Amino acid sequence: MGADTAAVRKTPLHDVHVALGARLVEFAGFTMPITYDGIVAEHTRVRQSVGLFDVSHMGEIHVRGDGAMGFIESITTNRAAALEPGFVQYSAMCYEDGGFIDDLLVYRLCDSYMLVVNAANHDKDTDWIRAHAGVDVEIDDASDRTALIAVQGPRAEAVAGGLVAGDLSSLGYYRSIETTVLGRNAVVSRTGYTGEDGFEIYCEPDFARDVWEAFANAGRPVGIGPAGLGARDTLRLEMGYALYGNDIDETRNPVEANLMWITRLKKGDFAGRDAIAAAKEAGPPSKLVGFEIEGRGIPRHGYPILVGGEPRGEVTSGTFSPSLQKGIGMGYVPAGTAGEIGVEIRGAAVPARIVELPFYKDGSVRNSR
């Protein structure tokens, strides 16, 4: 698994995963649970009831100081000025050539902006952030001091309501509160990566286990259970959410990745703005699309996509959708491609069809409120 000599790290919930019999793998330098009782079972649990995810491996970077908002505006694609206290937005950081450094969440908290980044990109992101920060900005990498538990599913609010201080029913989608859970400080947001209603709970590492166990107990009557990275991937892919490293990376820009909805070209200058604007003007040669396999077959990362029988694109993410019971995937195809395509699966051209995202349309996520 590479010549990395750095020790693999554990999250604050490691012992819980071991006790639950999780299949553990190394991911982004952390030992993480891929599954506990099966990806399909965990996926179904989140869609029908509620699941608990340990995502403590992710990075949390606080930005403070008089120049904080302006700085974030200058290094992200979305409009940070629109963030009132308690607002959260999905955003991206790009290089000057428009290629993605990472996708992330930006929180406006009471005394800081908090950037929540992918674990795999932690070092790259913090290096970039520090290199571009001016003297009027203070960067505080709190990743090692922050545990993160996601509670996701239609029953999430019913379970969380008794544990999180405050009225969760009035906490809107992509809003956060700084509150307490069982008397200890926590940031709680109505956000997630599953397409279901739910919350992400940021707390101190020494308290993470108490939070997990409190949710496990409170949710027992509705069948709460753990969910690992395997189910996290099938859930997000059913929603058409991008995964850095698969669907977006340094070679892709927001125009071709269909992420112009988080890119505010008119907000002023930001890293990558000119290149992105030029790409939009020119029209990119490729576009990210979602597709469903017709018949049998599972598309996987790297498989060629055939248009008119010729290899013209490639799959960036693929899986078997537990909810739809068919192969689904995302990938780049020549801009303007629509309708029937093929996916080359172990030498055979398997028919597929480009579809509108999300694949799964019955999620309880509150994005219409």
Partner 1 sequence: MAESTLLFTKSHEWVSADGDVATIGVSDYAQNELGDIVFVELPEVGKSVSAGDVLTSIESVKSVSELYTPLTGEIVEVNTSLDDAPETINTDPMGDGWILRIKMSDPSELDDLMDSDAYASLTKG
Interface residue list for partner 1 (CB under 8 A): 23, 34-35, 38-41, 230, 233-234, 296-298, 300, 319-320, 322, 346
Q: What residues contact 360, with CB distance under 8 A and at least 6 apart?
A: 47, 195, 238, 239, 321, 323, 324
Is 30 or 107 the residue whose CB approaches partner 1 more closely?
A: 30
Q: Which of 58, 61, 60 is nearest to 133 (CA)?
A: 61
Give least dist CB 350 to partner 1, A. Answer: 11
Q: Which is nearer to partner 1, 284 or 322 (CB)?
A: 322
Q: Smallest distance from the beta carbon of 155 to partner 1, in angstroms?
A: 23
Write down the residue that tokens 């995937």 correspond to. 329
Q: How far is the CB of 353 from partner 1 (least distance, A)?
A: 19
d(CA 97, CA 207): 42
Residue placing its CB nearer to partner 1 in the complex, 250 or 294: 294
Pick 302 or 311: Cβ nearer partner 1: 302
142's tokens: 């709190």
CB of 153 to partner 1, least distance (A): 19
Concatenating the DSSP letter of every residue in 138-200 gives EEEE-GGG-EEEEEESTTHHHHHTTTBSS-GGG--TTBEEEEEETTEEEEEES--SSSSSEEE
Based on CB atoms, which residue is closest to partner 1, 176 or 316?
316
Nearer to partner 1, 296 or 369 (CB): 296
Nearest CA-CA partner of 154 in 223, 241, 229 = 223
> Taking a C-beta distance cutoff of 8 angstroms, is the pair 262, 92 a contact?
yes
Nearest approach, Cβ of 8 to partner 1 (angstroms)?
20
Helix (H) or strand (E) holding 39: helix 39-48
In whole angstroms, how close is the CB of 187 to partner 1 at the nearest point? 31
Nearest 5°: CA angle at 339, between 338 and 344?
95
Q: Least separation, in Å, of the C-beta of 365 and partner 1? A: 22
Question: Whose Cβ is closer to partner 1: residue 42's or residue 141's?
Answer: 42
What CA–CA distances, in Å, run from 239 to 30, 37, 255?
26, 22, 19
